[in-house]
Structure 1
Amino acid sequence: MSRKGWIVLGAVLGAALTLAWTRSTAQAPVNEAFVARIELTGPIGPAAAEYVDNAIKRATDDGAKAIVLQLDTPGGLLESMRDIIAGILASKIPVLGYVAPSGARAASAGTYILYACPVAAMAPATHVGAATPVTMGGTTPMPSPLGGGAPASSKSSDKAVDHGADDAETNKILNDAIATIRSLAQMHGRNAVWAEQAVRGAATLTASEAVQQHVVDFVAVDTDALLAQADGRSVHVDGGTVTLALRGLRVRDYPPDGRARFLGIITNPTIAYVLLLAGIYGLILEAFHPGSFYPGVTGGICLLIGLYALQLLPVSYAGLALMALGVALLLAEVFIPTAGVLGIGGVIAFMLGSIMLFRTGVPGYAVNLGVIAGIGFCGIVILAMLLRLVMRARRARAFNGDDEMLQDTGELLQAVAAGGEGWARIGGERWRVQSAMALPAGARIQVVDRQGLLLKVSAMRTGEGETT
């Protein structure tokens, strides 16, 4: 066998051994009991809800004894939070909510999710609470403060005072949130009174305070301590009551898959906003330069992805309409000479719409103001440059017309008899000319009059003499 053949054979054998070793190491611990870990970090949105739901199903199918849902979130969208809670309550294996690492928080929607878990724990130097819901307009529905710090019961909270449609809607959202968290607290035997206070008054607790008030079960410094302290507890899951046997079990991480990562990127409000802008400007460039294809194709893809992200996010349609109006005014400025009035109005409308595009009251779901300011500044600079070019063009000397032609000079391409016509080169162009006097070919001439496409010329004077 040749040297090349030995190299190929060695490569094939090496690949086969590597594949066999990988399969053996991957399949070796299949029968070993383990605990799945799902890390829910950052704002809670559609991507997070899909990730948690898929990870719970995968862990259940893989035979996990329990799931550790590690939380570090400022809150997020109501519908996504409800999807996560529904997945936890429907899980056939117990879910252990764990606020970690140190410095993490389970705020707003994270509080509801922690209450939904059969076992709730926190790492040192973490906190929980501030679960007041946020309405569509970004305002916080806060009724009158509770006397003496004691929250009202669910019965009293249902008796909302009607101060109009806005107050009725606010009270509906508030009472629904209170009912949700109280039902979760009652299901797992936790402090329902403080849960209501966290919704009504945005109350918060540190890890040790949460244990004292029976909001969480215990404080655990790490995942191993969490499993050790949860060992032997009887908890309620969808299939009934389960006694946990978790001490010393291996922990297997379930990171987000490619789809969840992609959704997490495009549903970032700033990324979705930039995609929307890239799509709009790409299509505009394609309209002004038809046939270039690249701006149109890129813009179309970005616009579709941006619109897909928008339908997953809490979008304000008033802000979207203002952005569309701003783009329309900027385009109108190109075709209608308004000395920048439409352009400036378009920039202002676009920036206001950008600020209003997402619900600013929802944690983690607002466009970065620095990005908006930068785009607005660039728009103003481009508009100022265009206006400057327009004003310069208006002040510039005209390059055509009868008046300008009278100043042009040229050279005869053929001899012209007195009163006859011939051809001359004037301003780099061939013109039909007529001269009152005879002129030889090559004579320098000057335009004195114009009649349509016929120019009347005379010999150009140089000093006191006359060219012949």
Structure 2
Amino acid sequence: MRPWTTTVGLLLLVLGLQQLSPGAGADEAPVASSNQVWLVDLGGALGPATADLIIRSIDDAHNAGAQALILRMDTPGGLDKAMRELVKAILRADLPVITFVAPDGARAASAGTYIAYASHVAAMAPATNLGSSTPVSIGGPTPALPTPSQEGPDADAPTPPPGDAMTRKVVNDAVAYLQGLAELRGRNIEWAEKTVREGANLRASQALEQNVIDLIAGDVDSLLEQIHGREVELSHRTVTLDVAGAQLITVETDWMHELLEIITDPTIAYGLLIFGVYGLILEFYNPGMVFPAVIGLVSLLLGAYGLQMLPVNYAGLALIVVGIAMMVAEVFTPTMGALGFAGVIAFVVGSLILIDTQSPGYDIPLTVVAAFAATSAGFMFFLLAAAVRARHGPVRTGQESMVGEQAEALGDFSGLGRVHVFGEDWKARAEEPVEKGEKVRVVGIDGLTLIVKPED
């Protein structure tokens, strides 16, 4: 197969993954209404794969004519980009989306709180909590709310919140975003600010008392019983929930979700990227092997696909590429290790800042970075040692390279004759008689004549 056809085929395979998912037909016209309620779980950190599954489930539930979709949550938070995409999907949904923090002991922290505020109905099970909505990726101390003595028209101007300008901008943006959702759904606006600025939390009973959620339910059956007959405002119409005796459809994960879950793991995406680069480098050093190029290209494309769905710091990505380039360049232009050492440093720093977030579950472990850095350094020093050995070893080019090689006599001769070596015919001289087809060993060179002797 030609290399360019292989490349194009692999590229189309990766770019077409999303189009092959079961949710790709979400734009189909809805079927007749049915007495169904769909249930999808958000367990663990919210990332691109989980957000994609929930968004597709919302569309599929609408197309199936379901009465509502219940999003059962137990999450420590997740990526801001994934959360905002999911919130947008809930706001434009054509059926009610009900968030349910469950089972007992579950939480809807950080991104989970934003999702609960955006939902048409928000419910919690007993012994659950929500809150801690401060954007964590900015790090450092968070601004605090003014005390009551500072409030009012005669109060002194509030002290600027601690942290740099970027910290204040990110926090203020998050406050306005959550307050906008609170205003839209008629929920507690003051507490929305408090959970962002102070990282405040509420138990289920407190959340109900403070108008953060709509109800408390022990399980899904109790939830359905309580929301039956409730009017819900969608983006363009009002609907009344008719869920008495509704069939509960639990959404199962599909192969698309499982694949996205794997390749959007920052550690996996990072590893695929590095393997891809080294696969192509190996093919460059050994042209024609094909296998390293194919594996490298597939790894590189899958890694790039995963990284583009994550909050990547492109400065970190550039440092990784530059670091690898410097380590490879050390082999060709030996600088006593200076260039290679600088490359290792750039590689490590780039790896540490590659993922631009501190969301739980979305960092690259230091052990992984150290392992790849050590492997890269070892690979560099291996190539460097090979280059040094080749430089200081015997000359193996031109006529000198034939000394010690085996040749074949082209005829009988004693003295001068001709032999075949390295695919060419050469004039040869032998001290002993040689027969046609006999194997001889090249022991020296005299001008353009090879000195040979029969093999023992």
Tell me which residue corresponds to 2:45.
Answer: 43
Tell me which residue corresponds to 1:65.
Answer: 67
Q: 8 Å contact 2:418–2:428 — kept in the other structure? A: yes
Shift of 1:59: 0.9
- Once the two structures are superposed, what CA deviation does each residue of 1:157-185 show, in whole Å capped at 9, x if it has no partner? x988499xx84443332222212212222
Tell me which residue corresponds to 1:273.
Answer: 270
Letter in 2 for 1:75: G
Residue 231 in structure 1 maps to residue 228 in structure 2: yes
Shift of 1:115: 0.8
Tell me which residue corresponds to 1:337.
Answer: 334
- Once the two structures are superposed, what CA deviation does each residue of 1:62-118 show, in whole Å capped at 9, x if it has no partner? 121121011222323333322222222222322211112344322212111101112
Tell me which residue corresponds to 2:145.
Answer: 146
Tell me which residue corresponds to 2:4.
Answer: none
| Bigger shift: residues 365-374 or 66-75 | 365-374
Tell me which residue corresponds to 1:363.
Answer: 360
Tell me which residue corresponds to 1:246.
Answer: 243
Label 1:68 to 1:390 Cα distance change in 2 as closer, same or farther (>3 A): same
Tell me which residue corresponds to 2:260.
Answer: 263
Q: 8 Å contact 2:143–2:197 — kept in the other structure? A: no
Tell me which residue corresponds to 1:115.
Answer: 117
**TM-score (norm. length: structure 1):** 0.72
Label 1:61 to 1:149 Cα distance change in 2 as closer, same or farther (>3 A): farther
Taking the aligned partners of 1:406 and 1:308, their CA distance within structure 2 comes to: 53
| Matched ranges for 1:347-362 at <5 A | 347-362=344-359
| Matched ranges for 1:177-256 at <5 A | 177-256=174-253
Taking the aligned partners of 1:96 and 1:440, their CA distance within structure 2 comes to: 98
Taking the aligned partners of 1:242 and 1:151, their CA distance within structure 2 comes to: 44
Shift of 1:398: 7.5
Tell me which residue corresponds to 1:33.
Answer: 35
Q: 8 Å contact 1:151–1:194 — kept in the other structure? A: no
3-state SS of paired residue (1:39): strand
Shift of 1:453: 4.6
Shift of 1:221: 2.5
Label 1:232 to 1:431 Cα distance change in 2 as closer, same or farther (>3 A): closer
Shift of 1:318: 1.2
Q: 8 Å contact 2:142–2:161 — kept in the other structure? A: no
Taking the aligned partners of 1:151 and 1:266, their CA distance within structure 2 comes to: 49
Stretches of structure 2 lacking an aligned partner (at least 5 in a row): 1-31, 405-411, 435-441
Please say which structure displays the higher CA radius of gyration: 1
| Bigger shift: residues 448-457 or 343-352 | 448-457
Letter in 2 for 1:314: P
Shift of 1:324: 0.8
Q: 8 Å contact 1:320–1:354 — kept in the other structure? A: yes
Letter in 2 for 1:70: R
Shift of 1:325: 0.8
Shift of 1:299: 1.8
Tell me which residue corresponds to 2:167.
Answer: 170
Label 1:152 to 1:323 Cα distance change in 2 as closer, same or farther (>3 A): farther
Tell me which residue corresponds to 1:55.
Answer: 57
Label 1:347 to 1:448 Cα distance change in 2 as closer, same or farther (>3 A): closer
Taking the aligned partners of 1:456 and 1:298, their CA distance within structure 2 comes to: 47
Q: 8 Å contact 1:449–1:456 — kept in the other structure? A: yes
Shift of 1:326: 1.2
Q: 8 Å contact 1:414–1:424 — kept in the other structure? A: no
**TM-score (norm. length: structure 2):** 0.74
Tell me which residue corresponds to 1:305.
Answer: 302
Q: Give the number of aligned pairs.
A: 411
Equivalent pairs: percent with the same residue? 44
| Bigger shift: residues 125-134 or 315-324 | 125-134
Residue 77 in structure 1 maps to residue 79 in structure 2: yes
Shift of 1:152: 7.7
Label 1:31 to 1:161 Cα distance change in 2 as closer, same or farther (>3 A): closer
3-state SS of paired residue (1:53): helix
